[in-house]
């Protein structure tokens, strides 16, 4: 009796392991598709509305600036809302535009409105 139940459990577990093994081996043969070079490189603006993000904003901006897109084709605007002066100083050392929000009742809509007012005269592609 126990051997029959053992065989049923063994077959079920073997099917589960076989399923995972099949996809693990199949993943070794996957080749990512090669993307062609873009014909048109667009100029764009990246907005970072940051509300009390002192712990992560500097590392986030540094990480963003490591991308391969040409640096002259994009601008980075950080809207600093109630962040510490030392965080703002660290952001000013980076190649970004920093806007310090001076309003009391904070909201993301106010931060984005501030950003649009600052960049109203700039020309960016709308995608």
* The total number of structural domains that make up the chain: 1
- CA separation for the pair 42, 69 (Å, rounded): 10
Whether the Cβ atoms of residue 77 and residue 99 lie closer than 8 Å to each other: yes
Q: Is residue 81 part of a domain?
A: yes
Confidence of residue 1 (pLDDT cuts 50, 70, 90): low
Q: Which domain covers residue 97, as residue numbers?
A: 44-118
Q: Is residue 107 part of a domain?
A: yes
Helix (H, G, I), strand (E, B) or coil at 79: strand
Q: Is residue 124 part of a domain?
A: no
Q: Is residue 108 part of a domain?
A: yes
Q: Is residue 18 part of a domain?
A: no
Using a cut of 0.85, tell me whether the model's pTM lies above it: no
Whether the Cβ atoms of residue 117 and residue 97 lie closer than 8 Å to each other: no
Q: Is residue 51 part of a domain?
A: yes
Percent of the chain with pLDDT over 70: 95
Q: Is residue 23 part of a domain?
A: no
Q: Is residue 20 part of a domain?
A: no
Confidence of residue 43 (pLDDT cuts 50, 70, 90): confident
- CA separation for the pair 111, 50 (Å, rounded): 8
């Amino acid at each position: 009796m126990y051997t029959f139940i053992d065989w049923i459990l063994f077959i079920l577990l073997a099917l589960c392991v076989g399923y995972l093994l099949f996809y693990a081996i199949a993943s070794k043969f996957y080749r990512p598709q090669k993307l062609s070079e873009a014909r048109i490189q667009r100029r764009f603006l990246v907005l970072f509305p940051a509300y009390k993000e002192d712990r992560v904003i500097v590392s986030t901006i540094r990480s963003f600036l490591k991308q391969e897109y040409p640096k002259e084709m994009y601008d980075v605007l950080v809207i600093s809302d109630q962040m510490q002066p030392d965080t703002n100083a660290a952001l000013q050392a980076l190649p970004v535009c920093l806007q310090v929000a001076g309003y009391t009742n904070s909201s993301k809509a106010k931060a984005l409105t501030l950003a649009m007012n600052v960049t109203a005269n700039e020309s960016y592609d709308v995608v």
